[in-house]
Structure formats: structure tokens, C-alpha cells
């Protein structure tokens, strides 16, 4: 049969093009319909992660604690970054945990499509479910770390305060931001797998610029001569913003004056920009995932 | 679409098509081949000049399916045959909308689904959790899974020799694993069903059960596509056969006609004389099938 006839036959019987990209509202509806898959996939990944180890799920808490201990040894003891930072241990541990959340979300997001190509080629679901699910897995991991953090705070004598409630909006905004960036990189990583090799270096550079182990505030007060745009860039850095928000929420001695100006607006802005932008960017290539 | 229908009036007796492939080309891109295989410069090239220098950077194009057109109608069971690497599975994935086509179009009625859930399962999780995960991945609701959970487990026969469903899947024998995978995949009803070979594995009893289940699903589904290297399975299940060779559609017609040509092509002509044996009857282990009276494969 000639081509025109086949297209006309399809049109007469109301057949739709297979593998075509759904409209954005349709895509969101389908994604919502798969929400249980997203959570189940995240939980499954999390629990299978340590199922081979003898200590099992205890590693969920041990891994972040060991990380924090290493950073304390290097930056607190050897390099003496803790000078001028009160409550340095909670300060450092909060920074490490919050940063790790963003870092591992983005890292696993980069491989979300390319590492699950079998799944993408076997089953039908909105592909955005994968990067979102990986971010959710990291959020669950962070909640384990936060439990460890609360113990540390308690041991270090930081009193519980009402401001701890601010953890919830701060984490929500950070999750949206992470998911957005993950989706951007998931699309990039699906086309060019080499990105996954490059990302660790980008992320490490980003980490050292985000005040994870040192206080941006202390640094800036020491270098008053720096041009104002450097100050602006350092303070508007989304990772630094989310880290500082969490410190402000949890640590008594971390004052509001140490936060960058309009911090909640900046945090929301980053979340919306990355979240909405990343989602649309990811959706634009929906029909091409699975090729290669 | 409705406006179109009024202009081009369809003959009343026209059969309803469920899948239309219109000049479909499918191309795989494979990185890390050719000249600068894996070298640093080749990698840099790939990142910087993806589009312009695909060949130079060592990306090879594999033309898996070329110019395939066919129309499948409601109620048909269509076999896909051809030698290894002829593009059968690739075509099936494209019909399912899982692999993008390079040229041409595939139109479908509803969402065709591939019978297979392997990729969603995790070997470190228990069988029980994998049933839930696999069901959710296929788009079942939590209620549907809860409702069918027992049927899935019973059908797989995992618990026949003790409580295995609460053990991680990595502890299963390969036969047990594939039985559970098939049981999960077969738990859902599909409009257009695509079955890739090697799904119905396991012992004789389970093979018979899964063959029954496939027949049952055929009755519910609008159209069934079956990829298989077993000529007898194709003869038993399908009334129409598409023969692919090197990605091109070599023949499309009634089963017997195409199979005869195919067997001449492969030099398999002699075996054709025998009427296709029933798979269960041919199985070498009658003991396994004997003790139970024909189990009803009600999943």
C-alpha cells in the first residue's frame, strides 16, 4: 500500500502515532498516575543498596557519619578551618549532609536514563519518573543522615528549637532544585554518556565553592576588598543557599545575619527555575530516550 | 481526526486496524567503534562535535530495520520470524513505542505493551517486593496488585517447595526466577500484546501453564505479535506471519505459505512434514506433569 493510504487508514480509524511525545499536561497526569512506582522504585533502590553488607541498613547512617568524620579530621583538625566558626562540628556535618544530597541526586540523575536503558526499552512510563525517583532515593538517604545529625546536635549540646521546623520547607525547595538539575543532566547523559565521567569533577569544584567545610561569611569578612560580584556569586550559589538555610534552621549559633539577603526568595527562585525548566527540558526529548 | 473521517469515507466492511507500520526505519547508534576507538581525542570529538562528525568520532550507525510497512488487524495473531539479528525484536520494541524510529511512522490503537518486566526487578529484593515493584512498573494500581498477588505467586509455583517468595530473588534458581518474571508480566491485560521469545521458560509443567496463559491473553487482547524461533509455536499460535531478513520485510502472508518459504530458505524443509507436536507432550519429563490434574491457569 502506498504511504498516503496508510496514513489515511490510520486517520480513519483514529490510530495515534506510537512513541509520540504526549502534551505537557498529559505528561504530568501520566507521571502522577505512576507516583507509586516512583516511590516504590526509590525505596527498592535504597534497600537493595546495602543488602549485601553484614551490617545491612545500619550503613545508611554509618556512611554519612564516617564521611563527616573524615572531613572533620581534614578540615577541622589539619587545616584548622574551624577557627572563627562556633559549633564547628554541627556546622560541618550539616554542610556535608546537605551537600551530599544535591551531589548524589545530580550524579545518579545523570545516569538515570543511560543506566536504566533496559527498563526504558522494556516498559512504558513517563521517563521523568526515573530521575525523580533517584532524587527521592537520595532524599530518603538524607533523612537517615538527618537522624544521625540530630544525635550529633544533641551530643554537642545544641538545644532543640522551634526553628527546626524550617528544615521542612528548606528540604522541599532543595529537593525540587535537585530534581530539576537531575532531569537536565539525565537528558544530557542519555545523549552523551561521557557527561557521567565529567560530572564528578564539576561537582567537586562546586563543592569547594559552596562553603561546605568553611564559612562563606567568615571568608567574606576577611576579604572586604573583593569586588561585589564575587560576593554576589558566592552568596547566590544555590548549594550554598540551601546549606546555609539548613544551618540556620538547626544550629543556634548560626545567626540570621550570616544568611545572604532575601535568602528564602533566592532559594524558591532556584527551585522554580531548575524544577520547571528542568522538567520541560527533559520532557522535550521524551520520545528519544531509549535510542542508542 | 474526526473531520478527516468524514472526508475520506471508510468502506463499511473494512476491518479495524490496530497497528500500522508505514515505511519504518530503525537505526542504532553505537559509540566507541571505528577509527579512534576509545581514545581521548575521539571522546573529545564526540562531545564537541556530535552532530557533524558522528562517523569521524567513531559512532557507527546500525540499520536494524529498513522500510517495513504492514497493517495488523483486530483479532489477528501475527508471528515474526527471521534469522538472528534480522530485526524482529527491534521492530517489536518500536511498535511498543519504546524505540524511536528514524524514518516512517508507526500508528497504534491504544498502547501496545511488551510482555516482559525483567528490567524493573531487583535481584536483591524479595520475590514479594518484586511482585509489587514489577506490577507498579507495568502501570498496575496498588489495588490491582493486591488483588492479583496470590494468583501471581500461585501461578509461578515459587511457593510449592516452601516459602521462597520472602527470600531475595538472587537466591532463586534461574528457572524459578524466570517463572516468577513471567508470572508478573502475564498478570496484566493488554490491548495489543507483544511477546518476545524465550519468555515461556521453566519445566514442562510451567511451560504448559504459560502456553495456556498466552492463549488466554490472546483471547483478551486485540492483536498479538509473537517473536519466536520455534516454528511449531508460530504454527500453533499465529495465522499470519511476517518474515524479516536483514531488517527488510521479506514476506507477509498466511502462516503456512510463509513458513514453507522460510523453511526452504533455512534448509529446514524436512521437519515441516511432521504436524507440530504439542509442547507439553514433547517434554521429556512426564513425571513432573503427571501428579497434578491440568492446573487451570487462571491469572
Contact call for residues A52 and B124 (beta carbons, < 8 A): yes
In 3D space, the residue among A88, A139, A137 whose CA is nearest the CA of residue A247 turns out to be A88
From B67, B80, B102, B69, select the one nearest B193 (Cα to Cα): B80
Say what the pLDDT of residue B281 is. 40
Chain B residues 127-186 with CB within 8 Å of chain A: 129, 132-133, 136-139, 141-142, 168
- In A, residues 120-149, which contact B (CB 8 Å cutoff)? 120-125
Nearest Cα residue in chain B from A35:
B136
Nearest-by-CA chain B residue for A40:
B133
Within chain B, strands assigned E span 17-30, 60-73, 77-81, 103-108, 113-114, 192-195, 223-227, 240-245, 248-254
- Beta B113-114 vs B60-73: how paired, if at all? unpaired
Residue with cell 495473531: B77
- Domain residues for the domain of A278 are 30-288
Confidence at residue B282, expressed as pLDDT on a 0 to 100 scale: 39
CA distance A179 to A164: 24
Who contacts B273 (Cβ-Cβ below 8 Å, separation ≥6)? Answer: none
The answer to whether the beta carbons of residues B234 and B226 sit under 8 Å apart is yes
> What is the mean predicted confidence (pLDDT) over B211-239?
80
Please give the average per-residue pLDDT across A219-245, as a whole number.
86
State the Cα–Cα distance between residues A88 and A254, nearest whole angstrom.
10
Among the partner residues A3, A13, A194, nearest to B43 by beta-carbon distance = A194
Give the lowest-confidence range in B73-77, B126-130, B259-263.
B73-77
Cβ-based contacts of A20 with chain B (< 8 Å):
97
Work out the pLDDT band at B44, boundaries 50, 70, 90: low
Q: Which of chain B's residues have a Cβ under 8 Å away from the Cβ of A8?
A: 4, 8
Characterize the bridge pairing of strands A16-17 and B103-108.
antiparallel
Q: Are B50 and A192 inside 8 Å of each other by CB?
A: yes
For residues A283 and A269, the answer to whether their CB atoms sit within 8 Å is: no
Q: Using CA atoms, how far apart are residues B40 and B44, in angstroms rounded to an integer?
A: 6
Interchain proximity A122–B116, CB inside 8 Å: yes
- pLDDT confidence of B43, banded at 50, 70, 90? low
The reply to whether A228 falls in a domain is yes
- Asked whether the predicted pLDDT for residue A139 surpasses 60, the reply is yes
Kindly determine whether residue B101 and residue A288, on different chains, have CB atoms separated by under 8 Å: no
Q: Do A6 and B22 touch (CB under 8 A)?
A: yes
pLDDT for the residue A262:
85
Mean of pLDDT values over B198-220: 72
The stretch B187-195 carries a mean pLDDT of: 81
Does the beta-carbon distance from A191 to B132 stay under 8 Å? no
A290 contacts in chain B (CB < 8 Å):
93, 98-100
Question: How much is the pLDDT for B269?
Answer: 60
Q: Which of B105, B113, B223 to mutate to test the interface with A (most CBs of A within 10 A)?
A: B105
Q: Which residue has the cell 518474515?
A: B243
Q: What 3-state DSSP class applies to B113?
A: strand
Whether A15 maps to a domain, the answer reads: no
Quote the DSSP letter at residue B99.
S
Mean pLDDT value of segment B220-225: 81
The 3 state secondary structure assigned to chain A is CCHHHHHHHHHHCCCEECCCCCCHHHHHHHHHHCHHHHHHHHHHHHHHHCCCCCCHHHHHHHHHHHHHHHHHHHHHHHCCCCCCCCCHHHHHHHHHHHHHHHHHHHHHHHCCCHHHHHHHHHCCCCCCHHHHHHHHHHHHHHHHHHHHHHHHHHHCCCCCCHHHHHHHHHHHHHHHHHHHHHHHHHHHHHHCCCHHHHHHHHHHHHHHCCCCCCCHHHHHHHCCCCCHHHHHHHHHCHHHHHHHHHHHHHCCCCCHHHCCCCHHHHHHHHHHHHHHHHHHHHHHCHHHCCCC
- Reported as a pLDDT band with limits 50, 70 and 90, residue B272 is very low
CB contacts, 8 Å: A36 with chain B:
136, 141-142
Closest alpha carbon within chain A to B105: A17
Report yes or no: A5 at the B interface, CB cutoff 8 Å.
Answer: no
Distance CA A215, CA A218 (A): 5
Averaged confidence pLDDT in chain A: 87
The pLDDT assigned to B11 comes to 52
pLDDT at A194: 87
Supply the DSSP symbol for B33: -
- The answer to the question of residue A191 being in a domain is yes
Check: CB of residue A69 under 8 Å from CB of residue A152.
no
CB contact under 8 A, A18 and B139: no
Q: Which of A30-34, A160-164, B111-115, B154-158 has the lowest mean pLDDT?
A: B111-115
Confidence of residue A240 (pLDDT cuts 50, 70, 90): very high
Q: Residue A108: what pLDDT?
A: 94
Q: What per-residue confidence (pLDDT) applies to B219?
A: 76
- Is B109 within 8 Å of A37 when comparing Cβ atoms? no
Burial pattern A80-95, b for ≥16 Cβ within 10 A else e, equals: ebbeebebbbbbbbbb
DSSP B22: E
How much is the pLDDT for B202? 62
The answer to whether residues A250 and A149 touch, using CB atoms and an 8 Å cutoff, is yes
Measure Cα distances from B65 to B18, B99, B224, B258, B267 in Å. 20, 12, 20, 19, 24
Say whether A13 and B17 touch across the interface (CB within 8 A): yes
* Structural domain contains residue A18: no
> Per-residue pLDDT tens for A77-120?
887 777 777 778 888 888 989 999 999 999 999 999 988 888 88
B137 and A119 within 8 Å at the Cβ level: the answer is yes
Percent of chain B with pLDDT over 70: 73
pLDDT digits (tens, 9 = 90+) for A247-287: 999 888 887 777 877 889 999 999 999 999 999 999 999 88
Q: Examine the pLDDT at B204 and tell me if it is beyond 70.
A: yes
Answer whether B46 touches A (CB < 8 Å): yes
Q: Is B111 left (phi over 0), alpha (psi -120 to 50) or beta?
A: beta
Question: Is the CB of residue A292 less than 8 Å away from at least one CB of chain B?
Answer: yes
Please give the distance of CA B104 from its chain centroid, rounded to a whole number: 22
Residue A2 lies in a domain: no
- Interface subset of A 56-85, CB within 8 angstroms of B: none
Domain membership of residue A17 (yes or no) is no
Q: Which residues of A touch B70 (CB under 8 A)?
A: none
Question: In the predicted model, what is the mean pLDDT of residues B144-157?
Answer: 90
Q: Is A88 part of a structural domain of the chain?
A: yes
B99 CB within 8 Å of a chain A CB: yes
Q: Is residue A57 part of a domain?
A: yes
Summarised one tens digit per residue, pLDDT across range A54-79 is: 777 788 888 878 887 888 888 778 87
Name beta bridge partners: B85.
none
Cβ burial, residue A264 (10 Å; 0-12/13-18/19+)? middle
Pick the residue of A4, A7, A10 with the most B CBs within 10 A to test the interface with B by mutation: A10
Distance from C-alpha of A136 to C-alpha of B248, rounded to nearest angstrom: 44
The mean pLDDT of B99-121, rounded to a whole number, is 81
Chain B (184-203) residues lying within 8 Å, Cβ to Cβ, of chain A:
none
Q: Is A288 on the interface with B (CB under 8 A)?
A: yes
Residues of chain A contacting B111 with CB distance shorter than 8 Å: 124
Q: Into how many domains does chain A fold?
A: 1
What's the pLDDT score for residue B39? 64
Give residue A186's pLDDT band: very low, low, confident or very high (50, 70, 90).
Answer: very high
Position B284 pLDDT exceeds 50: no
User: Can you tell me which residue has the cell 505459505?
Assistant: B257
Are the CB atoms for B167 and B127 separated by under 8 Å? yes
Amino acid at each position: 500500500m502506498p504511504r498516503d493510504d496508510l496514513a489515511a487508514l490510520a486517520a480513519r480509524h483514529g490510530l495515534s502515532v506510537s512513541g509520540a511525545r504526549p502534551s505537557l499536561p498529559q505528561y504530568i497526569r501520566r507521571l502522577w498516575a505512576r507516583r507509586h512506582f516512583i516511590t516504590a522504585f526509590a525505596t527498592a533502590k535504597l534497600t537493595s543498596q546495602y543488602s549485601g553488607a553484614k551490617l545491612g541498613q545500619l550503613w545508611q547512617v554509618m556512611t554519612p557519619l564516617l564521611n563527616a568524620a573524615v572531613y572533620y579530621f581534614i578540615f577541622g583538625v589539619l587545616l584548622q578551618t574551624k577557627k572563627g566558626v562556633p559549633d564547628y562540628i554541627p556546622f560541618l556535618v550539616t554542610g556535608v549532609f546537605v551537600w551530599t544530597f544535591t551531589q548524589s541526586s545530580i550524579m545518579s540523575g545523570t545516569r538515570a536514563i543511560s543506566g536504566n536503558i533496559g527498563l526504558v526499552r522494556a516498559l512504558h512510563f513517563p521517563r521523568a519518573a526515573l530521575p525523580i525517583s533517584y532524587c527521592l532515593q537520595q532524599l530518603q538517604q538524607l533523612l537517615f543522615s538527618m537522624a544521625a545529625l540530630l544525635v550529633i546536635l544533641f551530643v554537642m549540646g545544641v538545644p532543640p528549637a522551634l526553628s527546626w521546623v524550617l528544615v521542612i520547607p528548606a528540604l522541599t525547595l532543595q529537593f525540587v532544585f535537585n530534581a530539576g538539575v537531575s532531569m537536565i543532566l539525565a537528558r544530557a547523559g542519555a545523549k552523551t554518556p561521557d557527561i557521567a565521567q565529567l560530572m564528578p569533577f564539576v561537582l567537586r569544584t562546586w563543592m569547594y565553592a559552596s562553603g561546605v567545610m568553611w564559612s562563606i561569611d567568615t571568608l567574606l569578612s576577611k576579604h572586604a576588598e573583593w569586588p561585589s560580584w564575587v560576593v554576589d556569586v558566592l552568596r547566590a550559589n544555590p548549594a550554598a543557599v540551601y546549606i546555609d538555610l539548613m544551618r540556620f534552621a538547626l544550629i543556634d549559633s548560626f545567626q540570621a545575619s550570616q544568611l545572604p539577603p532575601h535568602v528564602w526568595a533566592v532559594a524558591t527562585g532556584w527551585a522554580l527555575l531548575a524544577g520547571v525548566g528542568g522538567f520541560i527540558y527533559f520532557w522535550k526529548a521524551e520520545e528519544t530516550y531509549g535510542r542508542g | 481526526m474526526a473531520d478527516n473521517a468524514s472526508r475520506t469515507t471508510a468502506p463499511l466492511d473494512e476491518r479495524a486496524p490496530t497497528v500500522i507500520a508505514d515505511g519504518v526505519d530503525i537505526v542504532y547508534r553505537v559509540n566507541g567503534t571505528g577509527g579512534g576507538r576509545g581514545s581521548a581525542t575521539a571522546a573529545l570529538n564526540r562531545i564537541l562535535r556530535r552532530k557533524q562528525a558522528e562517523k569521524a568520532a567513531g559512532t557507527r550507525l546500525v540499520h536494524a530495520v529498513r522500510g517495513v510497512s504492514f497493517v495488523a488487524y483486530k483479532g489477528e495473531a501475527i508471528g515474526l520470524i527471521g534469522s538472528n539479528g534480522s530485526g524482529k525484536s527491534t521492530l517489536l520494541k518500536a511498535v511498543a513505542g519504546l524505540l524511536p524510529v528514524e524514518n516512517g511512522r508507526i500508528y497504534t490503537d491504544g498502547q501496545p505493551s511488551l510482555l516482559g518486566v525483567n528490567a524493573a526487578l531487583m535481584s536483591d529484593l524479595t520475590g514479594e517486593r518484586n511482585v509489587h515493584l514489577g506490577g507498579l512498573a507495568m502501570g498496575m494500581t496498588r489495588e490491582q496488585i493486591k488483588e492479583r498477588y496470590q494468583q501471581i505467586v500461585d501461578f509461578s509455583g515459587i511457593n510449592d517447595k516452601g516459602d521462597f517468595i520472602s527470600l531475595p530473588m538472587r537466591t532463586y534458581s534461574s528457572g524459578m526466577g524466570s517463572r516468577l518474571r513471567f508470572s508478573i508480566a502475564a498478570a496484566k491485560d493488554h490491548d495489543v500484546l507483544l511477546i518476545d521469545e524465550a519468555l515461556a521458560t521453566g519445566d514442562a509443567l510451567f511451560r504448559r501453564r504459560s502456553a495456556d496463559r498466552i492463549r488466554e491473553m490472546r483471547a483478551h487482547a486485540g492483536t498479538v505479535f509473537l517473536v519466536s524461533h520455534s516454528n511449531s509455536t508460530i504454527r500453533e499460535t499465529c495465522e499470519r506471519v511476517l518474515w524479516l531478513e536483514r531488517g527488510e520485510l521479506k514476506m507477509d502472508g498466511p502462516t503456512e505459505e510463509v513458513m514453507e518459504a522460510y523453511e526452504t530458505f533455512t534448509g529446514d524443509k524436512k521437519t515441516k512434514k511432521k504436524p507440530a507436536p504439542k509442547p507439553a507432550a514433547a517434554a521429556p519429563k512426564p513425571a513432573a506433569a503427571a501428579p497434578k490434574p491440568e492446573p487451570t491457569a487462571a491469572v
